[in-house]
Amino acid sequence: MTLSRRTFITSTAAAALLAQVSARALAQAAQRTGLKDHFADDFRIGAAVGWKILAGDKDLESILFREFNSISPENCLKWESLHTADGGWRWDYADKYVDIGTQHQMYVVGHVLAWHSQTPDSVFKNPDGSYVSAATLKKKMQDHISTVVGRYKGHINAWDAANEAISDDKDNPMRRSHYFNILGEEFIDHAFHVAHEADPGVHLIYNDYGIEGGSKHEACMELIKRLQKRGVPINGIGIQAHINLEEPDVETLDKCIVDFASLGLRVHFTELDIDVLPNVWKLPVAEVSTRFEYKPERDPYIHGLPKDVEDRLADRWESLFKVFIKHHDKIERITTWGISDDGSWLNNFPIRGRTNYPLLFDRKHQPHEAYYKLMALKV
Ligand code: GLA
């Protein structure tokens, strides 16, 4: 039988439609089990959990348990959250966090042991404002780290032992934090050693942002080599990946995974989110002093994301995951910093009160277009 041109067009269109419908149907079927099952052969899929989940938000919980098999704590394991002003400890939220992960057999991440931020100044300074001695700071770190890591031994799988020790200034590659000013780079070694002693089985990570490429990537590679040479028990690199629609490009990302893995480290993407709002960090110099000011033109999507931006965002997620899948043997997990857009820190950073769309679930807790693209990968 020869097909008339009309029959041919119709059957081609029908076949295309059928292919589309079945890709969508497959993606929707996969959604019943979630991202964690879809990528089970590649890496874990994680989410940072905040106060809402710890307070029992059922809606967010249902997304968490369906989609993710790893959790990271947004705040409850940071120094300032664990110590009370009168020198005591508070464990309620931290215990709840670890219980959630244990009960649901998740890969539980501890964040963070040594970080310059969200650690009270009193850790580093005497009442008169002078720095405590090196021995005092080491003792404080020893008490803090051995208590926290010891408490969750066997329940927390991996700890960010040190966070953001590298600076953004390429001429001074190590951040001039209080930790560094008092102990030099050795504060990192100390954090890793104490954590390792408290739980020899726990996986220890160095975590930072902006280390995908450029001078910060080089500085990070050099730091890791120095740590390894000094016998520091480091197992993984945490690439935070607070990124945007353009940067870093996928070639840079690809190379950084290969580079870090070549040092014998497992690669963790620890805080992934994609900022879609106008970038205020790169405004002309004259504007630098006002870069954190709210202006309506810096918050263009308060009524929703236009279709073309939603499409670009979906393409960006897809291209990232193509690189992750290519290097699945080197990657331990892909963790997003939050679950849904309404809870993202990027609504308030670096400008307060904007409407951002950085995660895979929107403000109504529905999947973004990107979610379906990821589910269609490997189908
Ligand atoms: C950094 C920290 C996280 C978190 C995010 C933003 O990346 O590592 O703990 O504070 O900033 O919220």
Alpha carbon of 4 to ligand 1 centroid (Å): 62
Could you give the CA distance from residue 189 to residue 38 in angstroms, rounded to a whole number? 37
Reduced to 3 states (helix: H, G, I; strand: E, B; else coil), residue 158 is strand
Contact 313, 275 (CB under 8 A): no
Residue 140: the pLDDT is: 98
For the CA atoms of 271, 273, 278, 280, what is the dihedral angle to 10 degrees? 0
Alpha carbon of 16 to ligand 1 centroid (Å): 44
Cβ neighbours, 10 Å, residue 55: 10
Residue nearest to atom 4 of ligand 1 (CA): 74
Residue 7: the pLDDT is: 38
pTM of the model: 0.91
* Radius of gyration for the chain, computed over Cα atoms and rounded to the nearest angstrom: 23
Residue found under tokens 């059928």: 18
Q: Reply yes or no on whether the pLDDT at 131 is more than 70.
A: yes
DSSP 289: G
Mutate to test the pocket of ligand 1, among 208, 337, 352 (most ligand atoms within 8 A of CB): 337
Which tens digits make up the pLDDT trace of 254-264?
999 999 999 99
For residue 271, which atom of ligand 1 is closest to its CA? 7
Residue nearest to atom 8 of ligand 1 (CA): 163
Which tens digits make up the pLDDT trace of 295-352?
999 999 999 999 999 999 999 999 999 999 999 999 999 999 999 999 999 999 889 9
User: For 316, phi and psi rounded to 5 degrees?
Assistant: -65, -50
Q: Which two tokens stand for residue 115?
A: 């970080």
Which tens digits make up the pLDDT trace of 160-188?
999 999 999 899 999 999 999 999 999 99
User: To the nearest whole number, what is the mean pLDDT of the chain?
Assistant: 92
Cβ neighbours, 10 Å, residue 290: 10
Buried b (16+ CB within 10 A) or exposed e, 177-214: bbbbebbeebbbbbbbbbbbebbeebbbbbbbbbbbbe
Pocket (CB within 6 angstroms of ligand 1): 111, 163, 209, 240, 271, 345
- For 129, residues 6+ apart whose C-beta sits below 8 A from its C-beta are none
Query: Strand 70-73 to strand 242-244: parallel, antiparallel, or no bridges (unpaired)?
Result: unpaired
Active site amino acids: 164, 271
Cβ neighbours, 10 Å, residue 53: 23
